[in-house]
Amino acid sequence: MAAGGGAGNKTYSFKVVLLGEGCVGKTSLVLRYCENKFNDKHITTLQASFLTKKLNITGKRVNLAIWDTAGQERFHALGPIYYRDSNGAILVYDITDEDSFQKVKNWVKELRKMLGNEICLCIVGNKVDLEKERHDGMMETAQAEERAKGNGASQSTSSRRGVQIVDDEPQAATAAGGCCSSA
Amino acid sequence: MAAEQQRGIRVTQAELLCKDACGYYGNPAWQGFCSKCWRERTRKEEAVRQETGPHNDAGSPLTFSKFEEKKNMEKGRKVNTMRRLFWGGPSPPKRPESSEGQAATLKAYQSIEPGDFTSFLKLLRNPSSQRLQSRCTAFLNTMEAYHGLPVQKQSDLVQDFYQNIAVHFSSLSEVQVSQMMEHIEKLIMTRLHKWVFCHDSCDDEVKDLALQRRIRSLNWVTPHMLRVPFPDERAEVVSDPFLPAITAIIEMDAKRAPQDKLTCICKCSQNVFQALSTSNSEPANADDFLSGLIYVVLKANPPRLHSNMQYVIRFGLPHSLMAGESGYYFTNLCCAVAFIEKLDGPALNLSPEEFEGYMQGRRAPSKRGSERQNMARETQDQLEDLKGRQEKVDQGMNALKEQLQHWVQSVQAQIDEADDVKDQSVLLLEGKESNNNTCLTETEC
């Protein structure tokens, strides 16, 4: 059902989970993506944990349901409940925080083990506007890691500047869809 | 003569009293009964009439629906045997004359407002949707006949039925199909609830009790330990901001259809977001939401929580569970329950010893904050009460003032009247006297 299937004018709907440690900016990322807003007084939504985005990819209507997940350490064991039946996962880390990158690596392993290649992964290094605080060699590691796993995409973003918030679109064979940079 | 008069009055008084001798006065309009006794009598009579003639009286909904149900059951059976005889397979053939009527019915279904279950039921009673109705009735009868099956089997049967029935609406748009399916789900599950909820074949009841005990033993957990963004203690605290959410989740057990239960969960979640927004200006993220929800579940200890969740998983529509907002909230509730079941010291920022201490009741959480809250709430209630009473007194005063004014006016009017009468009578008397005088004078003359 969630996988869409079928042809014609059907609307595809996909479930995408946002995984990552607390404070890496998952919420800001998703708010920037869905509402193009960052830490703004004009944010009208009461919550940023469940958001939907309508897309049109090569003439096909796609509904993305983006599920924010609780990222704090104490909630780590709940991961499987969240990512069950999801079509895609966005793994977010903070480029200034090496631990958060380690977490992402663990997530990749866990997801591949639990869901195999059913799920489309996208690794996002957030907060590129804090470039100078970046830990050396982290990005390179990320890309190497992901190439080895295959079927993934790696992006660096900044919710503050609105750089390259990339959406993850499993059904549209190519892993990455359109960009919506603003800034 | 005086005695006779008194007796006369006594007789009429007895006649005035209610015939049932309840002590109140009767009324000729109610055949000499008082209003209460009259209502009771008529109700009894109506009930008798309904029992004796159920077939004539289409207005009595209970008996009539039963009758129709039986009729449809028969019809469904007949149709099924016919089908088996002629076509051998379960796939129903499309009859040309019915397809037109069906198209009309589908159009009618399209016009139903989302969530308007009553008009859906009305449409289902239409002759044109006979097939859909008989399928539902036949399915319900099968399910009731096989209610002893293991619950997982029953769940499979219901899910298969959803898939089969969805074909019926295949010409509608996706949104409309899901709306129709929600109606179907409500129709089916409201009837099946008593058979399949907390079924004997599974240990739901045991798990319910275990979860309930677990939540009860965690009654000492404070929002602070769960790191729920809670309004500052120093700030003016009227009541727990999570109270509406707690009420919503307790309400879930009272609903029968899985989607209604989901609606309760959604309402609860939205109230959690509302409560979070009072202490945080930014949109709530998943961490805040989940800890808020955990707090709500701990506070509410919703009745039969495990059974309710299993019921929704087994018999709910897949599309509302897997995708969409309701699915997200339901997943979070699952997370909250899983968290509560595995809760230990580190998750609450406590050492294992401290956690054990709390669990065995040796330590009590600082009650100061909650005590102060309670006191504030009590004072608030008292103030409210006083305010209400003050208003009542004011109202009474106004009424009394008005009455007094009326009374003064009426007294004034009476005095005026009396004065007039007096004047007139004086005039009359004077006139009479003068008349008499003239008469006298005349006779004298």
Q: Which chain B residues touch A45 with a CB distance below 8 Å?
A: 283
Interval B79-91 mean pLDDT: 44
Distance from CA of B216 to the nearest CA of A (A): 21
Q: Is the pLDDT of residue B24 over 80?
A: no
Q: Regarding predicted confidence, which is higher, B405 or A48? A: B405
Q: Residue A48 and residue B273: Cβ atoms within 8 Å?
A: no
Confidence of residue B47 (pLDDT cuts 50, 70, 90): low
For residues B269 and A36, give the distance between their C-alpha atoms in angstroms, rounded to a whole number.
25
What are B349's two structure tokens?
């920022």
Which of B262, B289, B328 is best to mutate for the A interface (most A CBs within 10 A)?
B328
At B365-377, the pLDDT tens digits run 555 556 677 888 8
Confidence of residue B384 (pLDDT cuts 50, 70, 90): very high
Q: Residue B335 and residue A70: Cβ atoms within 8 Å?
A: yes
Contacts of A181 (CB under 8 A, 6+ apart): A162, A163, A164, A165
Percent of residues, chain B, with pLDDT higher than 70:
74
Region of B118 on the Ramachandran plot (φ > 0 left; ψ -120 to 50 alpha; else beta)? alpha
Q: Regarding predicted confidence, which is higher, B152 or A146? A: B152
At B274-312, the pLDDT tens digits run 888 877 777 788 888 899 999 999 989 999 999 999 999
For chain B, the average pLDDT equals 77
What are B425's two structure tokens?
């009578």
Q: Is the pLDDT of residue A131 over 50?
A: yes
For residues B180 and B170, give the distance between their C-alpha atoms in angstroms, rounded to a whole number.
11
pTM: predicted TM-score of the whole model, two decimal places: 0.66
A–B CB contacts, 8 A cutoff, strictly below? 88
As separate numbers, helices (DSSP H) first and strands (DSSP E) second, chain B gives 17, 0
Q: Residue A46 and residue B283: Cβ atoms within 8 Å?
A: yes
At B149-159, the pLDDT tens digits run 888 888 999 99
Q: How high is the ipTM of this complex?
A: 0.78
CA trace torsion B54, B59, B63, B64 (10° rounding): 100
For residues B285 and B305, give the distance between their C-alpha atoms in angstroms, rounded to a whole number.
25
Distance from CA of A163 to the nearest CA of B (A): 21
Cβ–Cβ < 8 Å for A120, A131: no
For residues B343 and B158, give the distance between their C-alpha atoms in angstroms, rounded to a whole number.
35
